[in-house]
Structure 1
Amino acid sequence: MNTLTRTITIEEAPIAIATLDTNLCFINCSSPWRQEFITNDKEIFGKSFFEVVPSAPAVFRNILENSFSVNDNIVREQKHLMPDGSNKWYQWSIKAWKEIDGTIGGLIITCTNITKVKRAKDLLIAAENVAKMGGWDLDMITNTIQWSRITKEIHEVPLDYIPNLETGINFYKEGEHREKITELIQNAITTGEEWDTELQIVTAKGKELWVRAKGMPEFVNGKCVRLYGIFQDIDKKKKAEIKNAQIKERLDLATEVANIGIWEYNLHKDELEWNDEMFPLFGVKRKDFKGNFESWKATVHPDDLERCLQEFDMAVSGIKDFKTEFRIVHPDGTIKHIKANAGIFKDNEGKIIKMVGTNWDITKLVNTQLKLNKSEESFKGSFKSSAVGMALVAKDGSWMDVNDTLCLSLGYSRKELLQLSFQEITHPEDLEKDLSQLQRLLDGKINSYQLEKRYFHKKGTIVYVVLTVTAVKEIEGNISHFISQVVDITDKIEAQKKSEEFLELTKNQNNSLLNFAHIVSHNLRSHSSNLSVLSKYLIEEQEESEKREIETMIVNASESLNETVAHLNEVVQISTQAEGQLQDVCLNNIVKNVEKNISALLQQKNVECHISIDQSIKVKGIRAYLDSVLLNLFTNSIKYSSPNRIPKITIQATNAGKYIILNFRDNGLGIDLQRHGKKLFGMYKTFHQHEDSKGIGLFITKNQIEAMNGKIEVESEVDKGTLFRITLVAA
């Protein structure tokens, strides 16, 4: 074929076709090609393919270049991005052509615009995805099945899965479903009968699904050569239908068991139909029932009839639904309470044509409600006037209602208390045990519980109570709320605490007296023995110099005895005179005054003193005792300071609610608490070899602090220092 003949053929071709040389430049093209790719009459001979078709993707160059080495026709579908941003799809058919001498002369390319087909296919795929509907096609000659992607997804098999007739049938659930599809396929092959059915399959992953399977046969010369159809996932829809059917079945059964009557009234024909349950409900025999509106009216209690008729007319007029309660009178005079609900039905013109409703006996419920109302009124009266604090508490702990007694105990008004929860006013140390018992109540492990706990009064004081909590349950057995009884035992607890404090004070005083007795017995006996011996020596001694020495010893012994008696007297004063003398004392002023009084000693020993006490902190105490306590702590810190470092004293005070904590810390020699801790505050107990140590200071300090209703604690480490922690009552 020469060039002239080829050119004429291509130009007249009815399809988009073009020839390219080995450089991918145009030799010629058909008119449809020009219409598709060339917007004007410009000459394209010798121009590159990609200059004429700039929308061709880059990968298409490799396809064209590789086509020279392939004998077969190459078909490719390619997406082209157009200058206006839109996409077009083309199907390209490419084949190399040869010259007379057998060499490759170039390429013959045909092009088909498949954009519409491609978009339609995409829409079809999208529709399949939305409807979960796939297709299938069985070739009866080769026994091969083609499944669409959706069909494979429904069966939960890989996209490269290849089924056949046997494997396809085996996906259906064994038993009636597999037998049914086998029968339908056999009928289609033998009789040409189509099928459209709903069956269950078991997917490759073991999931049971309801599907819609539709199949159609194709015959050639009286023989079935093909079966094809659709396959749809209807699992959710089918299960919903099954569930609705079960619900309807249960509803019908419940209606029968619960004696619920169902009626239907045709307004135009005045026809009233009753189901079997309506007759015993109204005490009417079927043979006596006339089946009209008057039959129902005759059963209604005269006192309720007018109201019922008004409600009926309002329902027929569309003003409100027919939902009411009324009494009926049986032929034997028995009165029953009936509850009625009804719906209306309209014709195409919007006119009401009939009513359908239900009736059931609520006589027992009404009587129970009357008893409950009386009981509730009685409870409300008891609740309000009870001398015991009472509250209705929701499951979240909020107060639903409280009586006046509880408000009085806690100091809140009813309005204030209803805005709080019991957690907010419960003492933190008691909250956990209360919540723990409450959880057991919620879990159904107990029906009630009782415990002693503390609430905070509105003024901040502690209210001691005995709390009893009982669960109130609904008809279904679920807890709705709690009834709490709160007995105020604050006076009892306070009296008990005072008794315990008195007993503790008596015990301490007895211990002090015992200790005091031992001291007196030991010290005075020692002094008297010493004086007795010295007196005897004095009488017997003849030498004047020796007598004077003995006299000096007697004087010293007398002074020692006097000092001992003074110490013992000071201890007695602490124990007997402190009660009732407590005053509001500014702690910072006391500490500063003591520091000032021993300033010379502090300077002499180069003591660094750091005091951090807020001026507003006040304690209940006796000034003389506080002076004595602080003076003793200051002098002890100086006396037992370490020779290896500069003495430091740090004094801090913090507010702890009802108490003030005073921390007195030094960096001195420290005390071995494991060795001396139990006798630290004993009388005449010393722990360091110091010439001024008499062992009386800490004993007196402890007694003075306890006389002011306080306590003293100690932390110490040898050669690192000591911390005295003093707790005093806040003013």
Structure 2
Amino acid sequence: MQEHSFAFRLKEQLELNHLTLQTVASALGISRTAVHKWTKGGEIDYDNLRKLADFLGVNWIWLRYGEQALSSVRHAGPVTQPMTDLRRRYTAEIMESEARMRLAQQGARIVTWEWNLISDEVAYSANVEEVYGWPIRSNQDFWQHLPPDDVAAMMAMYEQAISTGENCEYDFRIPQLDGSLRWISSRATVVSDALGRKIKMVGISMDNTARNLAEEALRHSEARFRAMFEQSWGALGYLDLDGRWQRVNQSLCELLGYAADELYTTTWQALTHPEDLAPNLALFEQLKRGELSRYVMEKRLRHQQGHYLWLRVRTSLQRDLPDASAAHLISVFEDIDAQRSELARLQARINELEAADNATASGRD
């Protein structure tokens, strides 16, 4: 229920004159339910309106349409009403609501603003200097503090919004006296009058400097990581817990003979030699259960040309923050195929020599 409404003024009169709904209903010759509906915002016809105003001793125009309407008709001052308990409660609710709004604005560093498109006047909430870093009292104050690129982009956006009536949003920068930069995220909508004319733009602006700095630091960190990952001489791979390759570097692609896109369509299980798969899966399950922090094993992986390569694979489990339940594998692959081949050749030679020695010894016997 709004303060400037028929229902509000009627309830005030009932409270002021200590009248019950039934008393009014009896005086007007109508049902109590009808009076109750009026106090809840229901419509009232002209005859009952005049009767009700006469019974309450007030002007019927004021009762139905308020002080401004009566003033317009009479060219007289507004009707003065004493402060009732209802009005006090209503005023207290407004003050409490406004206090909560101010607290929320200060805590979230949110500025509210209204731009009169006819007079070009702009009004900001009281915390604008705290958030923007500058006192802003007019559009001229605002535009002069923005970089030219942001001014051009925002003016074009506002012109488009005013032309179409669409909402708009933009993140702009405000340089500070100390050389730092504040990032402000602004959202606005155009308001039209009853004739459809665009008369004002209202919006909110929020200080997003901390978020932008964090995102920029993250982008730089990711860029450094990508550079280190791609330029590493070692063959590296990130895999999800299902075994699918999430990211591979060029060294791993060259080692296995696959393009990165080819690896992304398969799993490490599918490339592992059947004889090496069971022991590998056993170590993998221990890793997932937290029984191992990492493991190292020598196994064979299928090359793109079909043959198998012997590799030494070091694998660890990396949990993602803040969701520690999400995780991925980091594996480093070392080519030991030549070593294994040489070891196999040497072992075969040892076996050959031992067999010959055993044969010689048997001949002497």
Q: When the two structures are superposed, what TM-score results if normalisation uses the length of structure 2? A: 0.58
CA contact (8 A) 1:437 1:449 kept: no
* Separation of aligned partners in 1, 2:287 and 2:101: 39
The DSSP-based 3-state class of the residue aligned with 1:412 is coil
Q: Which has the higher strand share?
A: 1
User: 1:429 and 2:275 equivalent?
Assistant: no
- CA deviations 1:545-565 (Å, max 9, x no partner) are xxxxxxxxxxxxxxxxxxxxx
Q: C-alpha displacement at 1:280, in angstroms?
A: 0.6
* Separation of aligned partners in 1, 2:245 and 2:128: 46
Aligned to 1:464: 311
- CA deviations 1:146-166 (Å, max 9, x no partner) are xxxxxxxxxxxxxxxxxxxxx
The DSSP-based 3-state class of the residue aligned with 1:433 is helix
Q: C-alpha displacement at 1:393, in angstroms?
A: 3.3
Alignment counterpart, residue 495 of structure 1, candidates 309, 326, 342? 342
* Separation of aligned partners in 1, 2:332 and 2:292: 14
* Separation of aligned partners in 2, 1:322 and 1:489: 59
Letter in 2 for 1:376: E
User: 1:262 and 2:109 equivalent?
Assistant: no
Letter in 1 for 2:134: V
Aligned to 1:97: none
Alignment of 1:678-689 (within 5 A): none
Greater RCO, 1 or 2 (C-alpha within 8 Å, sep 6+) = 2
Aligned to 1:449: 294
Alignment counterpart, residue 337 of structure 1, candidates 176, 183, 198? 183
Q: C-alpha displacement at 1:252, in angstroms?
A: 8.3
* Separation of aligned partners in 2, 1:457 and 1:365: 45
CA contact (8 A) 2:191 2:198 kept: yes
* Separation of aligned partners in 2, 1:350 and 1:453: 76
* Separation of aligned partners in 2, 1:252 and 1:453: 65
Cα 1:395–1:299, aligned 2, differ >3 Å: closer, same or farther? farther
User: 1:284 and 2:284 equivalent?
Assistant: no
Alignment of 1:207-226 (within 5 A): none
- CA deviations 1:601-635 (Å, max 9, x no partner) are xxxxxxxxxxxxxxxxxxxxxxxxxxxxxxxxxxx
Q: C-alpha displacement at 1:437, in angstroms?
A: 5.4
* Separation of aligned partners in 1, 2:168 and 2:291: 44
Q: C-alpha displacement at 1:323, in angstroms?
A: 1.9
Q: C-alpha displacement at 1:324, in angstroms?
A: 1.5
Alignment counterpart, residue 318 of structure 1, candidates 164, 171, 191? 164
Aligned to 2:51: none
* Separation of aligned partners in 1, 2:270 and 2:313: 18
- CA deviations 1:289-316 (Å, max 9, x no partner) are 42x4334323323442222211222222
Q: C-alpha displacement at 1:481, in angstroms?
A: 5.3
* Separation of aligned partners in 2, 1:498 and 1:307: 71
Letter in 2 for 1:309: M
CA contact (8 A) 2:150 2:173 kept: yes
Alignment counterpart, residue 203 of structure 2, candidates 349, 354, 357? 357
Q: C-alpha displacement at 1:359, in angstroms?
A: 2.3
Aligned to 2:224: 378
The DSSP-based 3-state class of the residue aligned with 1:355 is strand
Aligned to 2:237: 391
Alignment of 1:621-700 (within 5 A): none
Deviates more, 1:476-485 or 1:346-355: 476-485
- CA deviations 1:345-390 (Å, max 9, x no partner) are 4444444444333323333443444444444333333333322112
Q: C-alpha displacement at 1:281, in angstroms?
A: 1.0
* Separation of aligned partners in 1, 2:292 and 2:166: 44
CA contact (8 A) 2:286 2:292 kept: no
Cα 1:263–1:483, aligned 2, differ >3 Å: closer, same or farther? farther
- CA deviations 1:656-675 (Å, max 9, x no partner) are xxxxxxxxxxxxxxxxxxxx
* Separation of aligned partners in 2, 1:466 and 1:349: 74
CA contact (8 A) 2:298 2:311 kept: yes
* Separation of aligned partners in 2, 1:404 and 1:416: 13
* Separation of aligned partners in 2, 1:472 and 1:489: 29
* Separation of aligned partners in 2, 1:482 and 1:349: 63
Q: C-alpha displacement at 1:328, in angstroms?
A: 0.8
* Separation of aligned partners in 2, 1:258 and 1:476: 26
* Separation of aligned partners in 1, 2:232 and 2:116: 59
Letter in 2 for 1:433: A
Q: C-alpha displacement at 1:432, in angstroms?
A: 1.6
The DSSP-based 3-state class of the residue aligned with 2:222 is helix
* Separation of aligned partners in 2, 1:368 and 1:271: 35
Cα 1:374–1:296, aligned 2, differ >3 Å: closer, same or farther? same
The DSSP-based 3-state class of the residue aligned with 1:387 is coil
* Separation of aligned partners in 2, 1:364 and 1:480: 27
Q: C-alpha displacement at 1:335, in angstroms?
A: 2.8
Gaps of 5+ in 1: 1-187, 197-248, 522-731
Aligned to 1:296: 142
The DSSP-based 3-state class of the residue aligned with 2:169 is strand
The DSSP-based 3-state class of the residue aligned with 2:228 is helix
Q: Which has the higher helix share?
A: 2
Letter in 1 for 2:209: T
* Separation of aligned partners in 2, 1:279 and 1:431: 62
Report the aligned-residue RMSD. Answer: 4.3
Q: When the two structures are superposed, what TM-score results if normalisation uses the length of structure 1? A: 0.31
CA contact (8 A) 2:147 2:173 kept: yes
The DSSP-based 3-state class of the residue aligned with 2:164 is coil
* Separation of aligned partners in 1, 2:175 and 2:311: 59
CA contact (8 A) 2:313 2:331 kept: no
* Separation of aligned partners in 2, 1:473 and 1:383: 18
The DSSP-based 3-state class of the residue aligned with 1:495 is helix
Alignment of 1:145-224 (within 5 A): none
Alignment of 1:404-419 (within 5 A): 404-419=250-265
CA contact (8 A) 1:453 1:465 kept: yes
Gaps of 5+ in 2: 1-21, 23-30, 37-98
CA contact (8 A) 2:157 2:168 kept: yes
Letter in 1 for 2:333: V
* Separation of aligned partners in 1, 2:355 and 2:102: 83
Cα 1:415–1:503, aligned 2, differ >3 Å: closer, same or farther? same
Aligned to 1:242: none
Q: Which has the larger radius of gyration?
A: 1
